[in-house]
Amino acid sequence: MSFLEVKNLKVHFPITGGLLGRTIDHVKAVDGVSFSIEKGKTYGLVGESGSGKTTTGRAIIGLNKITSGNVLFDGQDITNLRRSKMSARRDIQMIFQDPYSTLNPKKRVFDIVAEPLRNYENLSKREEKKRVQELLELVGLSPESIHKYPHEFSGGQRQRIGIARAIALKPKLIIADEPVSALDVSVQAQVLNFMQKIQKELGLTYLFISHDLGIIKHMCDRIGIMYKGRYVEEGTPEDIFTNPQHIYSRRLVAAIPDIDPRKREQQLQFRRTVKEEYEQSYNDYFDDKGLAYQLQPVSDTHLVALPGRG
Amino acid sequence: MGNPILEIENLRTSFRIKDNYYAAVDDVSLTVKKNELLAIVGESGCGKSALAFSIMGLHSKANVEGNIYFKGRDIANISPAKLNELRGKEMGMIFQDSLSALNPLMIIGDQIDEIIYIHNNKLAKKDRKEKVIDLLDKVGILHPAFTYNQFPHELSGGMRQRVVIAMAIANEPELLIADEPTTALDVTIQSQILDLLKKLKEDIHAGIILITHDLGVVAEMADRVAVMYAGQIVEIADVYTLFENPLHPYTRSLLNSVPNSNVVQSELHVIEGIVPSLQNLPREGCRFSPRIPWVDSSAHEKNPELHEVNPGHFVRCTCYRNFYFPEKSKGDQHHVVS
Amino acid sequence: MWKFTVRRIGIMIPQIALLSILIFIMAKMMPGDALSGLIDPSIDPATIEAMRDRLGLNNPWHIQYVDWIKGVIQGDFGQSFRFKMPVTELISQRLINTFWLSLATLILTYLIAIPLGITSGRYNDTWADRLITGYTYVGFAAPLFIFALIMVWIFGFHFGWFPTSGSVKPGLSPGTFEYVLSKINHLMLPALSMALIATVTTVQYLRSEIIDTKQKDFVVTARAKGASESRVYNRHILRNSLLPIAAFFGYEITGLIGGTIFIENIFGYPGMGQLFLESITLRDFSVVTTVVLIFGIASILGALISDIILSLVDPRIRIK
């Protein structure tokens, strides 16, 4: 049985307009998304801005209201349950993109990391301090740093503080929304390595949301590609990167710059071919509203949004 | 490749913090030739943007020393009026964040029109409008006459970046500086913009400086590459040499820390420690030495200089000869910092 | 755009209705009514009561309100107890006087604010900026009525350059050139006194707008285009900083109302503000009610003007 299961998830936001400000339409940010993650694995959700990947993550953890569909966590239905009322909610934590804006600048590191502990656990002052120090050590920050403020840290260190806060309650699932996008490459490497390390140590399951296909490929066991609120393709990194079937995935993969300058011409040609193909067969892959079709299996692991056959 | 368009000699750009000046760009020398794309790569705070702003004379409160020769003429020490004749005409700049780089209260057409008008006020408004529409068409805007009357916030990020590019190339500059032109964009849009820049490079025969932190972009675009660390250039080479035979420890570390989409790595390389802030830059000896403490200190030069190891391939300091990646000790990848 | 305006006006109508109800209820709560002052004390109370009945003064408040509002809409605000004349007639001349005073003040406010704000913002941290900022602090700290008294004393009594009361020299006939000149002469001192104080907010606002805009990326873009410093200022910095000031215009009107009450009394200027205080001391309630209603409507209109200007000048709002 899968650890997290998302079934036909829809998140629609109302658009108001007219003289009286009534709801005249909906933005279908997430429009029928289904996937499942196995325990201890990393699932990558890729897409460009406006694809609905972030909304999906936020809906799972309860930060966006789910319009319809279900979220099952460890066999339990957690759709639209309030955070406070849910014991299962503490098992799911989130890491955000910008480590600076999500840490309260007026609070010391100690209070930031201890906050979830205070919300969920009744610890004595001494126990609490011990736990925070352990957590900081785990994320590679010295125990003395508990008295500092977020601005005294570098970007990578701040992201580690964010991670320390996220793992304080020993969660089972972490939703990481672009956790390294704001960081420099060398710092990015630190955080990614560290996330892999604690995954092994704590048996964590990740939902890794990113626009960077290189990072997704490096981190994930299974990948879903989103476009305008829907899935266009899902599969193993092998399926997605060496055998992308949907025209949009192909275009996305072709767009990644190659680190080998000798392949420049080849890459340019490849990209041109894919672009032509994309323009020619756009109508075959998307419906009349420009949205993707339902996923169809093309192999045991590989699903592609192709027009319904029969 | 042609003649040098730009020659920079011993450029030093310092910013005042409290009562002291700190050099963000420290003793940088480089040349850019006609038809050449020089990529300047480095992480945030390495001084690459400060360098670009120094060339364009855009720093309002910095102390810029050294010489910048544009087509043989020193532009680091000329009057603002003379500089204004060059900026926007012979030197163009593309900015990173297209939303804030455009005036929110002015239509697109007027913003591009302005750069043409400033340098050629004899051209009639009607002719300028025609030229602006041609430019918009050239950078791949689908409905140029319509976009002419739109405001920046009405366009998507990719479209806005095209507008910023159209503006920079309006007077067919001989030097084009692109400061992280694709950082804020989605990958598919990024590849479109990069393709556009490639096409323009062939069309306008300019020398281009591309500033980026993205090694993939460098590999795809550059003819030559300069790697910057802590305000200095640590390595310059042609793009093939740099990716195939990188020498400086920083270049090698950087290349190893990027997730490579061709090879599956179990773990990414991590550079020890952190990038020092402007006030805490080590001003003596090899600036990268604190980040490779396992390399014997005698390997570093006292006053590290750029050495030409092969024709056209320069490396700073001698430590590259003794550099090696440390054995990965299990589970202790991250360095504990206080 | 028109949709926004229509919706905005739609919001305004209930605001005005609510305002009129509040004012009416407050007026009713005050002791006495239209008959208390008029009537000979020797008249039989029963007769007074019959008179009240006939005038509808014993009806429930909402019926009385409807009667009152019907009159108001037709321009009938009732009778002034004190002046024994219709309120409409009493107010019309004063309304015009206050209008001219406000207009003159507004013009002077901007005439002072724009050059000072621009100088202060463009050359911030120079001696000129420090001087101007110093003036704005004094302006913030000085109470209007004390400042106005000083002005009257210096320029009215001591130098005698300006008249110290009235709105026009008696004996001149309306429409003549002398009449207009005399009007302006009477306006100058009160308008200037008010403007000198009211302008400091705008100076400060403009200064910080300019300092803020100076650091925007699009200003760097303009410099990279090769634009001269004066062009960078005129086309990019000033234009973008003046627009929020333009939008503030409507709210200035609201500020003026408070100002005119003090100024007109100190300068003996026959306008709405003076009438307002006079009517309160004389308990001339029908006049007070009318004045409050007009002031209220002016404030609401001011806010409306601000919103409309903002939506006109800022394309980011205009689109919605």
pLDDT in tens, C53-107: 776 777 777 888 888 888 888 888 877 777 778 888 888 888 888 988 999 999 9
Residues 6+ apart with CB under 8 A from A92: A60, A61, A73, A171, A172, A173, A174, A175
- Report yes or no: A161 and A111 within 8 Å, Cβ to Cβ: no
Residue C241, number of CB atoms within 10 A of its CB: 24
Residue that wins the pLDDT comparison between C274 and A24 = C274
- CA–CA dist B4, B72 (Å, integer): 8
Taking only the tens place, the pLDDT of each residue in A217-228 is: 999 999 999 999
| 3-state SS class at B317 | coil
CB contact under 8 Å between B105 and C314, yes or no, is: yes
Q: pLDDT higher for A18 or C130?
A: C130
CA atoms within 13 A on the CB side of C127: 0
Q: Which residues of chain B from 167 to 196 reach within 8 Å of chain C, CB to CB?
A: 167
Across residues C164-180, what is the average pLDDT? 78
* Bridge-based pairing state of the strands A42-46 and A222-227: parallel
Domains detected in chain B: 4-222 (3.40.50.300), 228-332 (no CATH)
Task: Band the pLDDT of C211: cuts 50, 70, 90.
Answer: very high
What type of residue sits at position C170? Answer: P
Q: What is the CATH number of domain C88-209+242-317?
A: 1.10.3720.10
pLDDT at res. C160: 80
C-alpha distance from C2 to closest chain A C-alpha (Å): 10
Say what the pLDDT of residue B211 is. 95
Radius of gyration of chain A (CA): 21
> Measured between alpha carbons, how far is A182 from C138 in angstroms, rounded to an integer?
46
Class of domain A39-68+79-224: alpha beta
Strand partners, A45: A209, A224
pLDDT of C38 above 70: no
DSSP A210: E
Q: Which residues contact B254 (CB under 8 A, 6 or more apart)?
A: A185, A186, B41, B43, B215, B227, B271
- For chain A, the average pLDDT equals 86
Is B43 within 8 Å of A184 when comparing Cβ atoms? Answer: yes
Gap between the Cα atoms of A155 and A150, Å rounded = 9
Q: What pLDDT shows up at residue B333?
A: 42
DSSP string, C264-276: HHHTT--SHHHHH
- For residue A169, what pLDDT band results from cuts at 50, 70 and 90? confident
Query: How many Cα atoms within 13 Å fall on the side-chain side of residue B144?
Result: 17
Is C10 near chain A, with CB under 8 Å? yes
- Amino acid identity, position B305: E
Question: A135 vs chain B: nearest CA distance in angstroms?
Answer: 13
Nearest CA in chain A to B44: A184
List all chains that touch chain A, counting a touch as 3 or more CB pairs closer than 8 Å: B, C
pLDDT score recorded for residue B40:
96
Contacts of C153 (CB under 8 A, 6+ apart): none
Chain B residues whose beta carbon lies within 8 Å of the beta carbon of residue A256:
187, 216, 261
Q: How far is CA C128 from the centre of its chain?
A: 31
pLDDT given for residue B65 in this prediction: 92
Residues 253-272 of chain B with CB under 8 A from chain A are 253-255, 257-262, 264-265, 267-271
A132-146, C113-127, C182-196: the lowest-pLDDT one: A132-146
The percentage of residues in chain A with a pLDDT greater than 70, rounded to a whole number, is 94
- pLDDT, residue C108, reads 93
Q: How far is C3 from chain A (nearest CA, A)?
A: 7
Answer whether A309's CB lies under 8 Å from A240's CB: no
Angle subtended by helix axes C87-122 and C272-281, to nearest 10: 130
**Residue C37 scores a pLDDT above 70:** no
Mean pLDDT computed over C261-283? 86
Among B288, B42, B266, B242, which Cα is nearest to A185's? B42
Look up residue C57 and give its two tokens: 């003064």
Q: What is the percent of chain C where pLDDT is above 90?
A: 22
Whether residue C7 lies within 8 A of chain B, CB to CB, comes out as no
Under the banding of pLDDT at 50, 70 and 90, the label for residue A48 is: confident
What's the pLDDT score for residue B330?
Answer: 42
| CB within 8 Å: B114 and C226 | no
Please state, for a pLDDT cut of 70, what percent of chain C lies above it: 94
Residue that the structure tokens 């408070």 belong to: C258
Q: Which of B313, B92, B314 is nearest to B206 (CA)?
A: B92
Check whether C320 has a pLDDT greater than 80: no
Cβ contact (<8 Å) for C217 and B100?
Answer: yes
The residue extents of the domains of chain A are: 39-68+79-224, 229-310
Between chain A and chain B, the number of residue pairs with CB atoms below 8 A apart is 137
Q: How far apart are CA B1 and CA A295, in angstroms?
A: 51
- Residue B87's pLDDT is 94
ipTM above 0.90, yes or no: no
B309 φ/ψ sector (left φ>0, alpha ψ -120 to 50, else beta) = alpha
The shortest CB-CB distance from B261 to any of A139, A214, A264 is to A214
| A256 with B261: Cβ contact below 8 A | yes
Contact yes or no for C240/B103 (Cβ under 8 A): yes
Binned at pLDDT 50, 70 and 90, residue C319 comes out as very low
Q: Is the pLDDT of residue C200 over 70?
A: yes
pLDDT mean over A98-108? 79
Is the torsion defined by CA of C279, C281, C286, C291 positive or negative?
A: positive
Distance in angstroms (rounded) separating the CA atoms of residues B140 and B135:
9
Cα–Cα distance for residue pair B153/C16, rounded to 1 Å: 36
Tens of pLDDT, residues B9-54: 999 999 988 888 889 999 999 999 989 999 999 988 889 999 999 9
Q: Is the predicted pLDDT of residue C185 greater than 90, yes or no?
A: no
Helices (H), chain B: 48-56, 80-86, 98-101, 108-119, 125-138, 144-147, 157-169, 187-204, 215-221, 239-244, 249-257
pLDDT value, residue B329: 47
* pLDDT attached to residue B245: 94
Write out chain C residues lying below 8 Å of A22, CB-based. none
Amino acid residing at A105: P
Question: How crowded is the C-beta side of A134, counted as CA atoms within 13 Å?
Answer: 10
| Residue of chain A nearest C6, judged by CA positions | A19
Whether the per-residue pLDDT at A85 is higher than 70: the answer is no
Length of chain C: 320
Give chain A positions within 8 Å (CB) of B275.
154, 184, 186
* Strand B207-212, strand B37-41: pairing: parallel
Residue C27 · residue C61 · CB < 8 Å: no
User: What residues of chain B score a pLDDT lower than 70?
Assistant: 1-2, 260-265, 328-338
**pLDDT over threshold 80, residue C191:** yes
Q: Return the minimum-mean-pLDDT range out of A235-239, B189-193, C1-5, C283-287.
A: C1-5
Using the beta-carbon criterion (under 8 Å), do A257 and B43 form an inter-chain contact? no
Q: Which pLDDT does position A310 carry in this prediction? A: 39
Q: Which residues from A are below 8 Å from C7, CB to CB?
A: 19
Q: Which residues contact C252 (CB under 8 A, 6 or more apart)?
A: C106, C109, C198, C202, C302
Question: Would the CB atoms of B191 and A257 count as touching at under 8 Å?
Answer: yes
CA distance B56 to B40: 16
Q: What is the mean pLDDT of residues A35-56?
A: 92
Task: Please answer whether residues C156 and C189 qualify as being in contact, where contact means their C-beta atoms are separated by less than 8 angstroms.
Answer: yes
CA–CA gap between residue A121 and residue A142 (Å, rounded): 24
Give all chains having 3 or more CB-to-CB distances under 8 Å with chain C.
Answer: A, B
Residue count of chain B: 338
- Beta strand pairing call for B306-310 and B91-94: unpaired
CB A285 within 8 A of CB A252: no
Task: Dig out the tokens for A156 from the structure.
Answer: 């990578």
Contact (CB, 8 A) for B227 and B42: yes
- How many angstroms separate the CA atoms of B85 and B167, rounded? 16
